[in-house]
C-alpha cells in the first residue's frame, strides 16, 4: 500500500508561504497514494509558472516543459506509451492563455489524462500581471487602469469542447481535492480539475478570505445531478457570492483517442519491438513503387 511519503521529494519548494500550491501538491500525492499509482507508473507534465515546478518537489516521473505546451507534450507521451498514467499540471496563464488552443484540442480528442489547473487568476511567476481568469477591472502592472478582458470560463469551455469529466477544486479544501483528483484518475478520458488556488503574494483579493465564505460543495446539494449536461453548463457559470466546487459534469465515458489509433492496438508503441524491416516488408514497399 502506498502512502503520501512514497511521493516525497528532497527539494524544498520555492513557493511563498501560504501559497495554494502546497495544498495542490499534497492533494496530488495523497490522491496518487490512495489510487495506488506508484511514482514510476505515471508521469507529470508541467508548463511554466510557479506551480509548474511541482514535479521537482515530489518523487515522480516528470517533464517540466515550456509555457503553454504541457498538454501537447503529454499527448505525444500518451500516444507513445498509453501504459503510463499521465497528469498535466499547469497554471491558468499557461493553460487558458498561451496553451488555450492545445487545451481545446486535447479535450475534444479525449486524450486519457488528468489535467490539473492551478487557477490563481494571476501571473505569479512574472510578478502579478492579470491572467485569463482575472476579474475585469483588476489593476496590475499590465492593467494599471483595470483589466478590460472578460475572463475565460474554463468549466463551460471544457463542457462545450466535449469533456466528460469537469471538476473544480479548492486548494483550501484538501480532503475534497484529494477525492476530486482520485475520481479524475479513475475517469476514462480527459478529466479537468480546475483548482482555485490562492496566490497570497500577487492576488490577495482572491485569496483564502475571498474563497472561504463563498465556496460550497456540489455533492452537498441533493438536487444537483452532475450527469445532466445542461444543468452542468448552467452551474459552470455560477460565480460570485456562491462558488461551486466538486464534480460539475460527469458524462458517460466515450472512447479515448488512444483507444482508436490502429497502431496502438498491439499495445503501447514503445513496448513493440524496434528492429529492421523484414524481407517481405521491404519487398512490399518496393512493389508499391513499381
Partner 1 sequence: MVVNGTQAFSLGALAGGCRFVSAYPMTPGSPVLHWMAAHASQYGVAIKHTEDEIAAINMAIGAAHTGARSLVPTSGGGFALMVEALGLAGMTETPLVIYNAQRPGPSTGLPTRQEQGDLLFTLYASQGEFPRFILTPGSHEECFTAGWRAFNLAEKYQTPAIVLSDHYLVTSVRTLELDSANNNRSFDFEAVEIDRGALLSEVELDTLEEEYLRYRITDSGISPRAVPGHNKAVYVAAGNEHDESGAITEEPEMRTAQVEKRQRKIAGMTEEMSGPIRYGPENAEITFVSWGSTYGPLREAVDALNAQQANQANLLHFVNLWPFPTEAATSALKSAQRLIGVEGNATAQLATLIRSQTGLAMDDIILKYDGRAFTPEYVLCWEL
Grid-cell match 460550497, residue found: 216
Does residue 277 interact with partner 1 by CB under 8 A? yes
Determine which residue in the list 2, 16, 37, 66 makes contact with partner 1, applying CB under 8 A.
66
Determine which residue in the list 25, 33, 72, 157 makes contact with partner 1, applying CB under 8 A.
72
- Which three-class secondary structure string do you get for 258-269? HHHCHHHCCCCH
Determine which residue in the list 3, 8, 83, 139 makes contact with partner 1, applying CB under 8 A.
83
Dihedral, CA atoms, 20, 76, 166, 241, nearest 10 degrees?
40
Determine which residue in the list 22, 63, 224, 233 makes contact with partner 1, applying CB under 8 A.
63
Q: Minimum distance from CB of 264 to partner 1 (Å)?
A: 6
Q: Which three cell numbers stand for residue 38?
A: 506508484
Nearer to partner 1, 70 or 140 (CB): 70
Element containing residue 196 per DSSP (H, E): strand 191-196
Query: Would you give the binding string for partner 1 spanning residues 191-230, x where CB under 8 A is met?
Result: ----------------------------------------
Nearer to partner 1, 173 or 258 (CB): 258
- Which contacts of 82-85 are long-range, i.e. CB under 8 A and separated by 24 or more positions? 82/112, 82/258, 82/264, 82/268, 83/267, 83/268, 83/271, 84/41, 84/42, 84/43, 84/268, 85/37, 85/41, 85/42, 85/43, 85/185
Dihedral pair phi/psi, residue 245, rounded to 5°:
-125, 155
Buried b (16+ CB within 10 A) or exposed e, 138-162: bebeebeeebeeebbbbbbbbbebe
Count of residues that interact with partner 1, criterion CB under 8 A: 53
Please count the CA atoms within 13 angstroms of the CA of 204 that sit on its side-chain side. Answer: 1
Q: Which three cell numbers stand for residue 129?
A: 500581471
Nearer to partner 1, 84 or 243 (CB): 84
Nearer to partner 1, 186 or 281 (CB): 281
Does residue 4 interact with partner 1 by CB under 8 A? no
How far, in Å, CA of 267 to CA of 230, rounded?
A: 37
Does residue 76 interact with partner 1 by CB under 8 A? yes
Nearer to partner 1, 76 or 137 (CB): 76
**Piece of the chain touching partner 1 by CB under 8 A; list 149-157, 217-225, 248-256, 261-269:** 261-269
Does residue 5 interact with partner 1 by CB under 8 A? no
- C-alpha distances (whole Å) from 96 to each of 16, 33, 115, 157, 178 are 23, 29, 12, 10, 23
Does residue 8 interact with partner 1 by CB under 8 A? no
Does residue 79 interact with partner 1 by CB under 8 A? yes
Nearer to partner 1, 82 or 121 (CB): 82
Determine which residue in the list 20, 23, 30, 65 makes contact with partner 1, applying CB under 8 A.
65
Does residue 176 interact with partner 1 by CB under 8 A? no
Residues making contact with partner 1 (CB under 8 A): 11, 38-41, 43, 45, 48, 53, 55-56, 59-66, 69, 72-81, 83-84, 101-102, 105, 261-264, 266, 269-270, 272, 274-277, 281-282, 285-286, 289-290
Amino acid at each position: 500500500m502506498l502512502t503520501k511519503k512514497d511521493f516525497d521529494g528532497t527539494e524544498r519548494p520555492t513557493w511563498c508561504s501560504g501559497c495554494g500550491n502546497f495544498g495542490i501538491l499534497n492533494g496530488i500525492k495523497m490522491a496518487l497514494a490512495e489510487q495506488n499509482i506508484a511514482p514510476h507508473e505515471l508521469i507529470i507534465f508541467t508548463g511554466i509558472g510557479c506551480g509548474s515546478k511541482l514535479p521537482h518537489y515530489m518523487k515522480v516521473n516528470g517533464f517540466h516543459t515550456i509555457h503553454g505546451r504541457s498538454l501537447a507534450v503529454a499527448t505525444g507521451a500518451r500516444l507513445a506509451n498509453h501504459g503510463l498514467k499521465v497528469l498535466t499540471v499547469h497554471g491558468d496563464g499557461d493553460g487558458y492563455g498561451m496553451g488555450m488552443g492545445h487545451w481545446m484540442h486535447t479535450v475534444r480528442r479525449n486524450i486519457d489524462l488528468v489535467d490539473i489547473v492551478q487557477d490563481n487568476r494571476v501571473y505569479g511567476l512574472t510578478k502579478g500581471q492579470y491572467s485569463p481568469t482575472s476579474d475585469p477591472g483588476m489593476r496590475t502592472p499590465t492593467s494599471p487602469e483595470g483589466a478590460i478582458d472578460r475572463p475565460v470560463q474554463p468549466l463551460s469551455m471544457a463542457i462545450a469542447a466535449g469533456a466528460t469529466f469537469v471538476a473544480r477544486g479548492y486548494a483550501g479544501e484538501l480532503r475534497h481535492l484529494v477525492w476530486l483528483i482520485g475520481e479524475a484518475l479513475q475517469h476514462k478520458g480527459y478529466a479537468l480539475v480546475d483548482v482555485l488556488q490562492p496566490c497570497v503574494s500577487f492576488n490577495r483579493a482572491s485569496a483564502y478570505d475571498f474563497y472561504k465564505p463563498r465556496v460550497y460543495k456540489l455533492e452537498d446539494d441533493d438536487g444537483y445531478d452532475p450527469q445532466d449536461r445542461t444543468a452542468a453548463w448552467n452551474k459552470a457559470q455560477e460565480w460570485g457570492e456562491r462558488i461551486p466546487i466538486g464534480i460539475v459534469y460527469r458524462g458517460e465515458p466515450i472512447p479515448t483517442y488512444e483507444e482508436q489509433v490502429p497502431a496502438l492496438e498491439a499495445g503501447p508503441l514503445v513496448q513493440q519491438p524496434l528492429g529492421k524491416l523484414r524481407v517481405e516488408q521491404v519487398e512490399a514497399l518496393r512493389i508499391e513503387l513499381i
